[in-house]
Each structure stands twice: as C-alpha cells, then as structure tokens.
Amino acid sequence: MGGRGGWWRGKSTPAKVETYTRWSFHTFPFIEVATFALPTFGYVPAPVNWILFLLVSAHAAVAAVTASLTLDWTRGRRPLPVRLLWALGTATVVIAVVSLVVALHGPRGADNGAAAGTVFVGVLSFGIGTLALAVRGTRRLVYGVLGAAVGAGAVAVPAGVSAPGAAVAAGAVVLAAGFFTFTSAFSVWLLNAVYELDEARETRARLAVAEERLRFGRDLHDVMGRNLAVVALKSELAVQLARRGRPEAVEQMVEVQRIARETQREVREVVRGYREADLRTELAGAQGVLTAAGIDCEVSGPVTGLPAEIQSALGWVVREATTNVLRHGDAARCAVSLRVAEGRVTLTVENDGAPGIGSGAGTDTAEPGRGSGLAGLRERLREVDGVLRAGPAGSDLFRLTAEVPLPPDSVPEQAPAPEPGGSPRPAPHPVSEVTS
C-alpha cells in the first residue's frame, strides 16, 4: 500500500509512537494561537489585538522549535538545547507580562480584562508545559508549576489586577500549566518506555541466539577436543615408530583413522541433535513467546502421532516463523494452524504485518544460498518431500505454508491445542537468527 498508509505501516512500533508524540506537540502552537490569540480580535480593539496576536504567535513558534529539539535530546540524538530553553523561558515571561500590560492599559475594548487574563494564563501554561520536556524528576516538575503560579500572582498585582483576580490567575496557571506539564512528562516517559521495551525484545532474541551458539560450540568442543588430542598424540607416536622402523606405526595410524571416523559420526550426531525440534513443544513455545511480546497468538489443530522426521521439520518451520514475526514484522495477531487431509499435513502461519515483512526473506522465490532462514527450511522439508510457500496474502496479511506428505501407514491422532490462558513451557530454541 503506497502513500501515507504505506509510510505509516513501514514504521516500527516505537517509531510510530515517536511520530505520534512529535505531531501532538506540533499541534500545540495552533491550539495556543486559536485558543488565546484569535479571540482577542473580538474583545480588544486594534491595534492592541494585532499586538497580542503577533506576540502569542511568536511564542507558539519558539515553543514548537524547542519541543522538537528537546525530543531529539530525549532520544539521545542531539545535545540539550540549553540556549533555546532559556530563550523560551524568557520569552514566556516577557510576552505574558507585556500582553497583560498592553491589554489592561491600552485602548479599552469590550472586555480587556478577560482577554488579558486569558492570554496571560495561556502563554504561561504552554511555556511551562514545553519547558517540562527538559526536566527530569516529579519534584522539579511540581516546583516548576507552583513557581509559575506564584510568579503569575506576584506579577498580576503590580500590573493592575486586583488581589482576587491575581489569585484566580494563579489558580488557573496551576491547573493549565499542571495539565500541560503532566502531558509533556507522560509523553516523554511513554516514548522512552516503548523504545526500552523494543530494545529488550531485540536483546532477548540476540541472547537466545547467543545461547544456542554457545551450546552448539560447547558440544562441538566436547566432541572435538578430546578426539583431536588423541589423534595428535597417536600421530606423534606413529611418526616416532616409523622412524625406528617399527611395524606398530601402522597400527597407530589405523587407530588414528578409526578415531577420525568416530569424530565424524559424533559431529553428525551433534548437528542432528541441534536441528531436531519437537512440534508440540515448538507450538506451545511459539504461543508463549508471541503472547509475551504482546502479539495475539492463536494455535489450532495440533496432532500427535506424526513421524519424528516430519515433526522435526515442521517444528523448525514454527520456530523460524515465530522468529520472523518477532524480528521482521509489526504484527498484532498471529495464527498457527495444523491440519491433516488427503495424506498430507499442512502447517500455516499467518500474521497481519505489512506485506513482505514477517518472513525475513520476502517471498517463496528467494534464491537459495542468499540466507539461512527460508533456505534452511526448504532443505529440511526437502528431506521429507515437503514444500514451502511464503508471501503476502492480501493487503496486510503474510502467510507461510509448509506441506508434507504422510507415509501410507501413518495415521496421526488428534490432540487438543495448547491452552491459550495457560503457561506453556517455551521451546528449547524459541528464537533463532534468520538472515534470509
């Protein structure tokens, strides 16, 4: 889908939250001008109304630029704009006071007092709310709001506002500035929390991959280390015996040959054990991992009684599909279904991520050898005469399907699906690295 929808859908969840937050603050200048500057044309005569309008508009523009740069600082993309923050704070005080004095002591209009109070409170509230983006700590935020309210009351009386009116103005600043300050602080907290959760999910995936690599390397070390040490010792012994013309050298080399073949067999067993996957465990693990990641996962139609090699191949498909949904897509829902019909078992994994996202490779026509994800799945399915199809299935649906023929004497027994509300034990390898 092109245009604006495609631009939005192509963003990650944290990027969407950041875009929403930024555009929310970009609308604040228009709200400030529309709420506090434009109404002055109906209550204050010219040219005072134009002066108030230009002052509020200038303040709104400075606040918009400050908010944008401060959000960049929040994400660590630029230094804190200290000078701009001081400029905004100074402009807020000066414009608020000047607006109050001009409205009260300039040409009299229909309701100069109401217009003066509205502009005064509005400028202070939006200014304090924008400055709150650069403040960390609840206590400092509270002190900032209370200080603005006390300052508003202290300035209003010398400007010509009565004591009750100054108290009302201070109370209005507390409410309005408190609301905008809370909005700014909550927006920053939410944005940081979303990015931290996304980083935690990626870290969990990388740790799972690293753990598997360490396990695999440890197994290979246990197999190869001892045998290679024995091969080295026996080879040295054979060399010494051969130099002396001893016939036992041949026996030692035969033993080296036997150990080498035994090592090959043990390495194949390690690799085979690394690739084996239990289908039912993988289905339960996929549901648990996706649910923990905030993706609604529905598993239906699991079976028992499938041959071990078919279970291993389909279990790997589930494992890789789960990894791709977590790392390459932006899905909110994922459905995994398994059915047996006409001598074939079909595994389908669907998610509502953007087209071409969620597979890690694109489509079923990806070139073998370009990566390990789909190429590895096809290799495993080829061993059991299965096929793999992957690609978009609509405007916002991605589907991966694996079909494997069943042996004539294999009749699977139906078993209930994993409980959605339960706590399935995660699969031994729930997340693995995909580079297709």
Rounded mean pLDDT, 335-357: 80
| pLDDT score of 383 more than 90 | no
What is the distance, to the nearest Å, from the Cα of residue 354 to the centroid of all Cα atoms in its chain?
Answer: 15
By percentage, how much of the chain surpasses pLDDT 70?
79
pLDDT digits (tens, 9 = 90+) for 34-81: 888 787 777 767 777 788 888 888 889 999 999 999 998 988 888 999
| pLDDT score of 357 more than 50 | no
Residue of higher predicted confidence among 33 and 376:
33
Asked if 40 and 53 count as a contact pair (C-beta separation under 8 A), the reply is yes
Q: What is the pLDDT of residue 434?
A: 33
Sort 372 into a burial class: Cβ within 10 Å, 0-12 / 13-18 / 19+. middle
Rounded mean pLDDT, 93-112: 71
pLDDT digits (tens, 9 = 90+) for 149-166: 888 888 877 777 777 877
- Least confident span in 73-77, 250-254, 290-294, 401-405: 290-294
Q: What is the pLDDT of residue 415?
A: 44
In sequence order, the β-bridge partners of residue 335 are 298, 350
Rounded mean pLDDT, 248-270: 84
Mean pLDDT of the chain: 77
